Amino acid sequence: MAKAPGMAMAAEPRRTARARFGLTDKLARKLVQLGFLGLFLYPIVPVVYRRLTFKPAPTLTSWLLPWDPLLLLGQVAHRNWPTVVVGAPLLLLALTLLMGRSFCGWVCPLGTVLDLVRSLAFWQRRWARPVRRLRRNSWARYYVLVAVAVGAAVSLQVLGVLDPLVVFQRAATTLMADFFSLRQPELRIYLAAVSFVFVAMLALELWQPRFWCRNLCPLGALLSLGSRYSLLNRRVDERCDGCGECARACPMRAIPREAHDTDYSDCSFCLDCAAACPKGAISFGFGALAGRRWQRLGHSLKAAGKRVIPGRYVSAPAVWPSRRQVAGGIAAGVTGLALAPLLDLAGHEAVIRPPGALSEREFVRACIICQECVRACPTGGLKPTLFGAGLAGIGTPQLVPRQGGCSLSSNCPQICAQVCPVGAIRPVSPSGWKIGLAEVNHHLCLAWDQGVKCLVCVEACVVGAAQVYHGRVTIDPNKCTGCGRCEGACPVAGSAIHVKPLAHA
């Protein structure tokens, strides 16, 4: 039966209003994303303030890493029980059962950065592919997840290289907190090395929307396992005419076939499809569709492969992986298990680690190179290593006394141990403060070589290890803790006193 002209005219304003609401919701999501991005970057602000003004500022721990369920999985696999934070990661996993991968679309700071970068890729809108050519996202992300989880049992550094939240934290700290030290050639090289993964993510985003999130992200793969049965639904009503605009606008390729089909393991509820729909036929809410998906969870593969959508039947992705996918997962696990020991093949020299650091071998395996201790160091003495600690030690923290000695003393709150999210640096008693031993180069020291009454290092020493003997400076090895204050204070170019690691002292 044909609609009356008056009814058609009345329906048109409703469609326009619905489309306007879709754009409003999309703008609201952008504001929420930027709000969370600012929240996660805020702990870096006191560091920048301290380095600009040389005034004391509070040190804040990361508000992002404690929520990382992938980091929780890695610590459990690594049997790092003393520092496991359970509540926040489990809460995030539980929320995926309620709202799917909304964390990826609304909260994840790396996803926000990728969305901002994608706005520069004008060619993606110009050369958008037809709907019929869109394919499902790759299972490679699940292989990466298996490799990271298995590799974390040997070394958490494998996880730190690919965990998106750790990658963001490292990139933000390196670019912002160390921005004022870029005149150092070693740091420039380090920026190019550790930022490779972050830069690769941005390059992939310029190639295809959310390529990293769809195909390679291990955290996204972990969240996908629960989001497949999300209670939050995407709804398409009878006004849909199958134009395919929603599928073209979806950055996650969660609409691989037609407008009524949704792959909730990929959908991040970004609302782009609702904003792109010219008919205003798309909405989101909680409904019976989620209950049907949960009822089919225990059914056979054939029964689980069909999902009822009002008005039509569409296929859903298989719940269980194929034999080829299982074989690929086993291969990924073997790769992850073999990757960590390969890092130990390169030799390394001893470096000065922060007080409370685990033994060198355990420290390298436990450190996720998040740069939290580097950011929080009040003196700026902690710097990331390049090749001084070998291939496995790239990016791990070391004390560079010439840049700033360690402030550890009876009044120090042991900040580096407080901010370490994986317990690679732990609180120590005064007997464990010794991290090195200072030695005086008699040929460079003004007091030894030229007989000048220079007592700068003696005045800088807070433990009384630097002493004057017949006008010359000597070091008491029983008192020296290796804090490096004397090396940093020495007026001689390059310093006439150097702190050596305990292994080389």
Per-run averaged pLDDT (10 residues), the chain, 505 residues:
45 51 77 93 84 79 89 83 78 90 93 91 60 65 87 83 90 70 51 71 90 92 88 86 85 81 89 86 73 47 41 41 61 60 58 88 88 85 78 83 79 82 86 86 85 84 86 87 89 88 67
Q: How far apart are CA 401 and CA 486, in angstroms?
A: 8
Q: How far apart are CA 416 and CA 399, in angstroms?
A: 12
Q: Where are the beta strands (DSSP E) in 387-462?
A: 397-399, 436-440
CB 466 within 8 A of CB 438: yes
Q: How far apart are CA 43 and CA 364, in angstroms?
A: 25
Decide: helix, strand or coil at residue 178. coil
CB 165 within 8 A of CB 219: yes
CB neighbours of residue 11 within 10 Å: 13
Rounded to the nearest 10 degrees, how much is the dihedral formed by the CA atoms of 329, 332, 337, 339?
A: -170
- pLDDT at position 505, please? 53
- Last residue of a domain, which of 315, 336, 368? 315
The helices-and-strands tally (H runs, E runs) of the chain is 25, 10
In the chain, the number of structural domains is: 2
Has residue 268 been placed in a domain?
yes
Q: How far apart are CA 440 and CA 472, in angstroms?
A: 10
Has residue 346 been placed in a domain?
no
Domain at 443, CATH number: 3.30.70.20
The DSSP H or E segment spanning 384 is: strand 382-384
Q: How far apart are CA 96 and CA 68, in angstroms?
A: 13
- Last residue of a domain, which of 274, 297, 315? 315
Has residue 337 been placed in a domain?
no
- Tokens matching residue 483: 């804090």
- Tokens matching residue 485: 């204050």
**Residue 21 shares a structural domain with residue 146:** yes
**Residue 304 shares a structural domain with residue 434:** no
Q: Is the pTM of this model over 0.95?
A: no
- Tokens matching residue 262: 């949704």
Sign of the CA dihedral with 117 first, then 119, 123, and 125 last:
positive
- Last residue of a domain, which of 315, 336, 355? 315
CB 337 within 8 A of CB 154: yes
Rounded to the nearest 10 degrees, how much is the dihedral formed by the CA atoms of 479, 481, 483, 488?
A: 40
* Per-residue DSSP letter, 426: -
Q: How far apart are CA 113 and CA 160, in angstroms?
A: 19
CB neighbours of residue 330 within 10 Å: 13
Residue 320: burial class (beta carbons within 10 Å; 0-12, 13-18, 19+): exposed
* Best CA proximity match to 438, nearest among 471, 383, 399: 399
Has residue 402 been placed in a domain?
no
Q: List the Cα angle 234/237/239 in 5-degree steps.
A: 135
* Per-residue DSSP letter, 173: I
Has residue 447 been placed in a domain?
yes
Has residue 97 been placed in a domain?
yes
C-beta pairs of 387-391 under 8 Å, 24+ apart in sequence: 388/348, 388/349, 388/351, 389/348, 389/349, 389/351, 389/360, 389/364, 390/343, 390/344, 390/346, 390/347, 390/348, 390/349, 390/364, 391/343, 391/345, 391/346, 391/348
Q: List the Cα angle 266/271/277 in 5-degree steps.
A: 110
Length of the chain: 505
- Tokens matching residue 66: 């404690």
Which residues constitute the domain of residue 463?
A: 430-505
Has residue 331 been placed in a domain?
no
Q: How far apart are CA 207 and CA 386, in angstroms?
A: 30
Has residue 49 been placed in a domain?
yes
